[in-house]
Structure 1
Amino acid sequence: MSRKDMGNQGEEIARALLERNGLDHVQSNFRCDMGEIDLIMRDGDAWVFIEVKSRSNERFASVVEQITADQCQRIRRCAQLFLIQQNLNEHVTFMRFDIVAIVMDFEQAQWLQDAF
C-alpha cells in the first residue's frame, strides 16, 4: 500500500470513528499555503480540527510522537484561515485540536482530544 493510500484509508477510519462518537463532518483535506488540516468537524458548538497520522506499524516511534511543534503551529494557522474564509472567526466560541493516530498492522485507532 502506498503512503498516499494509507493516508487516505487512515482518514476514512478516523472520520468513521469520530462520526460514531457524535461529531459532524464539515470538510476533509483543507489546504492552504501554510499546510493542511486532515479533517474539520463539529462537536456540538466546538469546531474540531483533526490531524490524522497513519502508520503501518510503530516500529521506530509511536504515531503520536511523530507530530512536531511546527506541525501543530501550521495546523493552528490553517484553522484560523479556514474560519476567516468561512466568515466564522468572530462567531466561534470554542475550537479544539485533536489527533487520531492509526496503526494499520494492528487496526488500532487512538483519538486524543484537545491534543495541542
Structure 2
Amino acid sequence: MANGKPAANSRTRGDEFERRAEQFLLEQGLRLLERNYQCKLGEIDLIMSTGNTLIFVEVRYRKNSHFGGAAASVIPSKQQKLRRTAHSYMQSKGLNESRQSCRFDLVACEGSHVHWIPNAF
C-alpha cells in the first residue's frame, strides 16, 4: 500500500521470528555474535558460532507451506547474496576463509513451527 503499512507489518513480523529463531538457537547451545549484519552487499539475519565454526543464519517466515514454504524461498540467487555478504563479514573481521570453518543455516518458520536446517546450502 502507498502508506507503507504492509511493509512495516512484514518487518515487525520478521523481527519477531528472528528473535524466536535466535532464542531457539541459543537454547541449542549456539553463541550469538551479531544480529542483522549489514553491508552494501546485503544482510545476514544472525551470525552465531559453535566451537570454532561461524554460522551465518537466514531466518524465513511463511504463514503456511503453500508455494513451497519458508525453506523453498531461499532461492539460489539469495544463497549467493548471503555468501557474498558472509565473505564481506569475514574480511571485515580479518578472518581467513581458508582457515575459518563456517556454514549457512536456515531457520524456517511456518505458522508457529520452527524448523532448523544446519548447513542448508
TM-score, with normalisation over the residues of structure 2? 0.88
Q: Distance in 2 between matches of 1:95 and 1:8?
A: 24
Structure-2 change in CA distance of 1:30 and 1:92 (3 Å): farther
Q: Structure 2 matches for 1:7-86, cutoff 5 A?
A: 7-86=14-93
Q: CA deviation at 1:92?
A: 4.3
Structure 2 segments unaligned to the other structure (5+ residues): 1-5
Q: Which runs of 5+ in 1 are unaligned?
A: none
Which whole-Å CA distance do the structure 1 matches of 2:97 and 2:10 have between them?
Answer: 37
SS class of match (1:67): coil
TM-fit CA distance, 1:57: 2.2
CA contact (8 A) 1:27 1:39 kept: yes
Deviations along 1:26-64, one digit per CA (max 9) or x if unpaired, are 001111111110000001110000000012222332111
| Inter-CA distance 10–92: structure 2 relative to 1 (3 Å threshold) | farther
Contact 1:28 1:38 in 2 (8 A): yes
Give 3-state SS (helix, strand or coil) of 2:24's partner.
helix
Q: Give 2:3's aligned residue.
A: none
Instruction: Say what the alpha-carbon RMSD is for the aligned residues.
Output: 1.6
Which residue matches 2:114? 109
Number of residue-to-residue matches in the alignment: 114
- Tell which structure's C-alpha radius of gyration is larger: 2
Q: Helix, strand or coil: the match of 1:98?
A: strand
User: Does the CA-based 8 Å contact 1:6-1:55 persist in structure 2?
Assistant: no
